[in-house]
Structure 1
Amino acid sequence: MTDHQDDLISEADQADARTIWAFHQMGHELQPCSAAITLGSLDLGVAATTADLYHAGMFPVVVFTGDTSDATKERFPRGEAVHYREHAISLGVPDEAILLEPKATNTGQNIGFSREVLERAGIAVSTMLLISMPYMQRRAYATCRKLWPEVQPVCVSQPLSFDEYVSTHDHEKQLIDMLMGDMERVMEYPKRGFAIEQHVPERVRDTFNRLRAHGYDTWLLPA
């Protein structure tokens, strides 16, 4: 792996990262849904987006889901879902509109465990707002369609470009690594039965391979 510093990331690598970023966006039209699932991550902006969408009347109840991971254990030591819930409440989301799922450690569990929480609460779901980091949209969609095919997911995130999102992070290299990790999972997880198959254009595969060859591989799957 090439040891990149953020200030050495080439314009070509940044352009390739924008291609991967754009592919992760599902482009769904925002609409009111039966419920929402907010996928825990290291980005507290996802919880803020959830609050905005609640106040806009996009859903009556939300499940915050997520334990901790290597990426989040220092920032969210009590669990992603717990910290997200507290932030959403501070932004005016009523506690009675929130359900908590604090055990999930991967996207499949995020969806599966959240489904169980909603079923136990007696909430009928036909459409689901999936709220995530921008580069998690496609993987979240594919996972939901695999594990909960009866529900129509609508994916939404903070409406930020790659460059805008980079400006909110300390390490651009790490962010590109994470884009790559999600990209690989979009391609590989259907083979493992974790997600539905999605068409990946050849230019996107070529972009992925170039970035991998340039050392953006920290978050790729173990060999």
Structure 2
Amino acid sequence: MDDRSLRMPSDDEIAAINTQHLIETPLRPADLLFVFGTRTDVAERVDAAVDLWRGGFARCAIVSGGITPGDHRSECAIIKAAMVARGVTSERILEEHRAQNTGENVVFSLPVIDAVLGLANVRSVICLGNSWTARRYPMTLHRHWPEVEKMLVTVDGFAIPRAQWHTVPEFRRRVLIEWDKIEPYKARGFIAEWPVG
């Protein structure tokens, strides 16, 4: 069986991924920081969340993620505890403990956000997640919550410039897996085109 994630992408595919998938957005203070759960690079995720908090980029956060295999704690519990230990106000971090994938992160978090903040009161969100998943976070959010403005911050533990992802086999594998999900996920209605316009 051909594992497409192990391919060496062409120069054209590398350029397309760099410009269309591994995007960066301008940042400004947002109403909500949406921290997507993870099993990898947790320290980098927490560092970025704390930096955004301290920088005044979010007045409230939600951390979403279910039980991590091999651990009795949810991704949410692990990440929130680390954020609080670094000085983020516990009461300002909403919690979602069931999600097992990006779609569930969003679907399960929306009622939590609505109950505490009111979805209509949230006009802007910063999505925080893995670099290789990149725009799929805001694309998933856009599918379920199109009205809110979305910004994107991504992190990883690879010590190379982001545009050189294809030079490290594991980084390349992760990026290609996520890149290859975009069109099928759009076709199945899991995600929506973003950015728009």
Same-fold call, TM cutoff 0.5: yes
Percent identity, aligned pairs only, is 24
Paired residue for 2:110?
115
Q: 1:150 is matched by which residue type in structure 2?
A: E
**Structure with the greater alpha carbon radius of gyration:** 1
Where do 1:70-85 residues align within 5 Å? 72-74=68-70, 77-85=72-80
Please tell me whether the aligned partners of residues 142 and 197 of structure 1 are also in contact (alpha carbons under 8 angstroms): yes
Aligned pair 1:176/2:172, yes or no?
Answer: yes
Paired residue for 2:28?
31
Aligned residues: CA RMSD? 3.1
Q: Deviations over 1:30-74 (max 9, x none)?
A: 110111110011221112211110010001110000114xxx524
More divergent stretch after superposition (50-59 vs 155-164): 155-164
1-side partners of 2:33 and 2:92: how far apart?
A: 10
1-side partners of 2:156 and 2:177: how far apart?
A: 21
Where do 1:121-160 residues align within 5 Å? 121-123=116-118, 124-158=121-155
TM-score scaled by length of structure 1: 0.71
Look up the SS of the partner of 1:132 in the other structure.
strand
1-side partners of 2:2 and 2:142: how far apart?
A: 36
1-side partners of 2:27 and 2:61: how far apart?
A: 16
Look up the SS of the partner of 1:157 in the other structure.
strand
Question: How far apart are 1:161 and its partner, in Å?
Answer: 7.3
Gaps of 5+ in 1: 4-8, 166-171, 200-223
1-side partners of 2:20 and 2:72: how far apart?
A: 31
Distance 1:14 1:51, change over 3 A: farther
* Count of aligned pairs: 185
Please tell me whether the aligned partners of residues 126 and 151 of structure 1 are also in contact (alpha carbons under 8 angstroms): yes
2-side partners of 1:144 and 1:52: how far apart?
A: 22
In structure 2, which of residues 184, 191, 196 is the aligned counterpart of residue 195 of structure 1?
A: 191
Paired residue for 1:54?
53
Gaps of 5+ in 2: 163-167
